[in-house]
Amino acid sequence: MKAKEYRTYFIEQLQSIYDVMEAESFFHLILEEKHQMKRIDLALNPDFSFSEEQIEDWDLILAELKKEIPIQYILGNTEFFGLKFKVNGNVLIPRPETEELVEWIIQEDLKIQRFKDLKILDIGTGSGCIAISLAKNIPNAKVYAIDVSPNALKTATENAEINQVEVVFLEKNILETNDLEMQFDIIVSNPPYVRNLEKEEIKKNVLDNEPHLALFVEDSDALIFYRKIAELATKNLNEEGRLYFEINQYLGEEMIELLHNKGFQDIELRKDIYDNDRMTKATFRITN
């Protein structure tokens, strides 16, 4: 069967679950992964055909998509900040909003034009996407990353190897940690921040497949991770060190108040590409 004909069938099969543009994007993601063909390659080779064996493989993927399993988990990888990352049910699928956080850190570092070596810590690293992207793009940085899940750390370690960077991974429950035992210039975290009351806003494919440990917090204490990490940052950030968070879009003002109460300065709240309050930056200064 010609690939173009199968594309029509593929999109028709998914139309009851996904819109046409999303279904078509799935088709081209699979085409590139399985056949190393981009959209333009298919346009230039309209007679390109799938073998019966290849169609069987495509049909298996189609069946998984009909179950609303994320395409990234089906393929086993995704792209983040121009890098390839292995993903599975032990880690969250990296989001475009998190790329914005990484870009912010890199641009701020360039602006400061540091000449010394930096120490960076990523708390709740998951797939390692933040830590690895920073290690790749800030060559003078020594990057450390913490996660409570040994399975997530296994995936993150593999991703560091895939992307040829050195990151020190540590298994640690941050809520049970009283001191990070070294000083850092930058601490960054994208911790769990979705309240249970917001579950109805979460798409089924996320709710049914991505690890709840990395997503949800109790409604009664939605800022539990932020408060703990901010406390640790007051002990383990160097003078003029920076603390970055990805945050719950509904809790921007509460985050500013939390950071202010912990003594941080130059607090900035930034919106993401969807115009939601999504990330904060704060500076640590020792006061007399």
Task: Decide if 178 contacts 89 (C-beta within 8 A).
Answer: no
> Does residue 114 have a pLDDT over 70?
no
Q: Which two tokens stand for residue 51?
A: 């073998």
Residue 220 has a pLDDT of: 86
Helix (H) or strand (E) holding 134: helix 129-137
Query: Could you report the per-residue pLDDT of 142-194, keeping only the tens digit for each?
Result: 999 999 999 999 999 999 999 999 999 999 999 999 999 999 999 999 998 88
Mean pLDDT computed over 261-288 = 93
pLDDT score of 215 = 83
pLDDT of residue 228: 97
Each residue of 199-244: pLDDT tens digit?
778 887 788 887 887 888 888 899 999 999 999 999 999 999 999 9
241's enclosing H/E stretch is strand 237-246
Whole-structure pTM value: 0.92
In this model, does residue 12 exceed pLDDT 60? yes
pLDDT at 128: 98
Binned at pLDDT 50, 70 and 90, residue 115 comes out as low
Looking at residues 105-113, what average pLDDT do you find?
A: 82
Query: DSSP letters of 77-103?
Result: EEEETTEEEE--TTSPPP-HHHHHHHH
Q: Which residues contact 255 (CB under 8 A, 6 or more apart)?
A: 223, 226, 245, 247, 269, 280
> Does residue 62 surpass a pLDDT of 80?
yes
